[in-house]
Each structure stands twice: as C-alpha cells, then as structure tokens.
Amino acid sequence: MQWQRCAEFFVYNIVITMDLLIFNGTIINEEQTLKGSILISGGKIKQIFPGNYNIPNLANVIDATGKYVVPGAIDTHVHFREPGLTHKATISSESQAALVGGVTTFFDMPNTIPATTTQAFLKEKLKIASKSSAINYGFYLAATKDNLHEITQIPASIYPGIKIFYAPSTGNLLCNDQVVIEQLFEKINKTFVIHSEDLSTLLEAQEQCKKLDTPLPPDIHMHCRPAEACVKATIDLIEIAKQTNAKAHFLHITTGQEVKILSKLHASNITSEVCPHYLWFSSKDYQSMGNLIKVNPSIKTEKDRQALIQAIKDKIINTIGTDHAPHLLEEKQKPYRQAPSGAPSIQHFYPAIFQIFENNNLPFDLIPTFTAHNPAKIFNIPARGYLKPGYWADISIIERKTTDAKDKIFHKCGWSVFDGQKINYQVFATITNGQIGWYNRQIHATKGQAIEFL
C-alpha cells in the first residue's frame, strides 16, 4: 500500500520535475525481459535496477508490479489534420489521445491544408506543436514535381523524412514521375516514406467499379484499390531505391505478395511498415464494419493478413505505425463513393498491438523492436526508442485489463476503428521526457519536444 499511496501523491500533485521511480515492472527492451525498476531524473533514465529495488525517501513512485514496461511508442505515421482540417482533429487533441495509447512521439504526414511542401509551412506546423503537443513531434515534407530545390534548402535536422504519394489518397498530393523520384532519391539524404500504389492500375480498377450498380457490396474498396496496384508500385520503387541507394521506407504494406518481395531483399536502405488495422481486420470484416475500415491502401484478404503476421514474426517488416487518420463518423457513414478513406486508432495503439501479438502467439519481447527501436534507427533519432541510462524517459506501462465494449474515446472525431473490439490490454501510464501524461485513466498536462534528427 505504501507504493500505491506514493504513486497517487505523485500524480495528483503533478510533481513532474522531481525524480521518479517505476517500481518492479516487467521491462521489455532489446528483445529481452527483465523484472526490475527504472529511476528517472531530469527527464532522462538515470538507472535500471534488477528486481524490486527500493530507493529510500523517494516519494514519486509508480508501482508497475504485474505490468509491462516498454519504450514509449514512436508512431511514425499519423494524420493529425492541423492546419486546415481541425474539425476532424488537432495536434492538441490527438497528441493527448496518443498518450492514452502509449505513444510518446509522432511524425505527422504532410497532407494538411496547406500541404507541407515548403520550409515556411513546415515551420508553421512546428510552431503549432510547440504550443499544443502533449508528446514529442516531427513533421514530414511532401515531395511534389517541382519542390526539389525548396527541400534541399531545409535543414535535415528539423524533419524526419519526405513523403511520396505515388498515388493520391486523402488530399491532392501526387508524385509519381519516376524521373523526379530518381532526382529526389539521388540528391536528398533523408528517409523517403512511400505510399506505394500504382496510379494507372488504380484508375483502371476504379473505372470498373464505376460500372457496378448501387448499392455497392461492403468489400468493394478491396476491388477499387486492388492488390495489383500495391505490388506493381512496390516493385517499381524498390528498383529505383536500389539503383540510387536511397533510404526508402514503404508504408502500410497490405499484401502477401509484397511480403515475398521484401523477404528477398538484402538491402539495409529499404524498410517497411505495417499498421495495426491490417493485422487485425481482413476482407471478411467489411460486412460488419463497412466504410469504417475503408482505408488506403485497402484491407485485403485473410491470407494477406496472415502473411503480414508472419512477416512480423520473421522481422521482414520493420515498423508498426497507426496511420491514424481521423474523419467524422457522419462522413464515414455516407455511401461508399462519398465516404473518405482513413480510420482513427492512436489511443488503442499499444493495447491493440499487445492483443494482436497475444492472439497470434507472437512473443511480446518483439513488440518494442517494431514500435520504438526500429523507428529510432530508421529515422536517426538520438537518445530515444530504448530503455537505457542517458536516454530520454519516454516510457509506457501496459497492464492486462479488459476494456469496456464502448470505452471513452479521446480522438476529437469521437470514434476509433478498434472501438468495441475485444482488447485485454490497457495503457496504465505514459511518460514523456520524464513527465507523466497518462496515469490510472486520467490525462495530465505535459509538453512535448521537437525531435532533432541526426
């Protein structure tokens, strides 16, 4: 009871600048598990002790007995909608929801209004986040057909990478000219994050879909944005990345065919991501979920889902990112052709991942590899992504506790794609830069930092 009273004292008085002890947790780090305690001082991890180490006279303690202690998630794929679409989400609202999901750092995509295509627009987003983000942050630039010179003038240390929309998704950004992409790959030493669908294949499929009578079947999206579009684009862009030795990170892989292609690569400059909804849902779920799982690229077959799970087990895919993409529920409830693509999910990030790993008999020791270690390595983030002395104290504590069928939603849009799903895990606490932002079902005021990149 002494430890519980200390923890309550800490949170309700918001003593965030003093030393903090995470006591007696199951620490998962670098694919190893240790029962131990973590001492935090000055916003950073000071020491990790094996066992239930007791520090006399330390008032600020979180009892993690029976809980998992992992690095805070680095979600390198979100759409926080600010500026321009703040009726759906804001940096403030979604960064707080991220705390609930155990996320301590986010990288936001550039398809806002205006799109993040210039240094001025990038700095405007950084300014907004500096005032309102509850967690650490970074913002991608978008490649266009004519902003190569602009990008070369921007300091590489202030942004994580460059987004290439090889096919359009939400918004009107498009960069599918292979000559332009080759120039970008050759001249800019940053990670390129790629939405990999082939436009001509999509257009052909969508023309066929237009001929269908309404009402359209729930799984129509899988046919309007078919697997062939993903596979063709991934093959083409891998070849360009191999020729130029550019760092290419393929977002939201959805097909077993892409997994096979990636499994044959032995190139450290080419990496890939999968999202929780592709590991959870398959085409059989369109009947019950409808447009709620209308996302780009589309959710594919159960065979594809199983291939993605195996790719996690075999470490063929490198990261897990949410692709958190809020839309209002009333928009998603429109007929298929009018409903936007994208689904919000960030408040369920770690709970959904732990459940996915449990459901598929995957070892929990692997989870931080995909959620924190590899994102830190791929995007050259110093002193984050691991539980090590001297690193920033970005930490999530997960407990096995079943959520209510209809849990409180913190996304501004008011819903989550995982709302109502059976999830047996919750985030007990989230700590960012040594500050407790989420503890025992309550959000507390924290301030994130702009990530600086090596």
Q: CB burial class (10 A; 0-12, 13-18, 19+) of residue 104?
A: buried
Name which of 135-139, 171-175, 419-423 the model is least confident about: 171-175
Query: Crossing angle for the helix pair 178-187 and 227-244, nearest 10 degrees?
Result: 40
Q: What percent of the chain has pLDDT over 90?
A: 87
- Could you give the CA distance from residue 429 to residue 216 in angstroms, rounded to a whole number? 43
DSSP state, 351?
H
Name which of 52-56, 222-226, 232-236 the model is least confident about: 52-56
Average pLDDT over residues 108-122: 97
Asked if residues 169 and 195 have their Cβ atoms less than 8 Å apart, the reply is: yes
Phi, psi for 110 (deg, rounded to 5):
-90, 0
- Sheet with 103-108, strands from edge to edge, namely 73-78, 103-108, 136-139
Fold for 2-70+387-443, please state it.
Urease, subunit C; domain 1 (2.30.40)
- pLDDT-based confidence at residue 440 (cuts at 50, 70, 90): confident
Closest to 438 measured CA to CA, from 446, 447, 430? 430
Asked if residues 106 and 95 have their Cβ atoms less than 8 Å apart, the reply is: yes
Q: What pLDDT is recorded for position 215? A: 85
Higher pLDDT, 52 or 222: 222
Question: Where does residue 434 fall: left (phi above 0), alpha (psi -120 to 50 degrees), or beta otherwise?
Answer: left
Per-residue model confidence as pLDDT tens digits over 380-420: 999 999 999 999 999 999 999 886 646 799 999 999 999 98
Per-residue model confidence as pLDDT tens digits over 72-114: 999 999 999 999 999 999 999 999 999 999 999 999 999 999 9
| Torsion of the alpha carbons at 57, 58, 63 and 65, rounded to the nearest 10 | -60
CATH (one of 3.40.1260.10, 3.20.20.140, 3.20.20.70, 3.40.50.2000) for 73-378: 3.20.20.140
Average pLDDT over residues 191-214: 94
Neighbours of 287 (CB within 10 A): 10
Average pLDDT over residues 247-253: 98
- pLDDT-based confidence at residue 171 (cuts at 50, 70, 90): low
Q: Where are the domains of the chain?
A: 2-70+387-443, 73-378
Q: What pLDDT is recorded for position 214? A: 81
